[in-house]
Amino acid sequence: MAEIEFYMDGSLARAARHLIKVSPRTIAHYAGIEPQVLRQYEKGGDCLTPEQVQGVTDGLVHYGAVFVPEDETGGVGVRRKFTRTGVKMIETWESEGGPVADDDI
């Protein structure tokens, strides 16, 4: 699969994170940075190295964001990896089975 080349800025990272409903703490942990540094980046701060930006991007993709590259019809964007139906099914699966406990089998 070909690499999508685009520039990840703070507003795109914030939009992706909100779209996939993942906390700054989760994405920051995945990227190996502090949550307050991620929040600063999302507000327009120039505080991340290219490697850290890649870590944030990888975390967002891991949790369900898909980045749409810029083309002749529009700019870069973000959407969910899963359809609305898929998201509902995943949310249902997460709540099935009752509380976590040891299995006696």
Domains of the chain: 10-94 (1.10.260.40)
Instruction: Report the range of poorest mean pLDDT among 27-31, 62-66, 75-79, 95-99.
Output: 95-99
Q: Tell me how far apart the alpha carbons of residues 33 and 56 are, in angstroms, rounded to a whole number.
A: 9
Tell me the pTM: 0.71
pLDDT band of residue 103 (cuts 50, 70, 90) is low
Structure tokens of 10?
């703070």
Q: Tell me how far apart the alpha carbons of residues 76 and 68 are, in angstroms, rounded to a whole number.
A: 6
Encode pLDDT of 35-82 as tens digits.
999 999 999 988 899 999 999 999 999 999 999 888 888 888 898 887
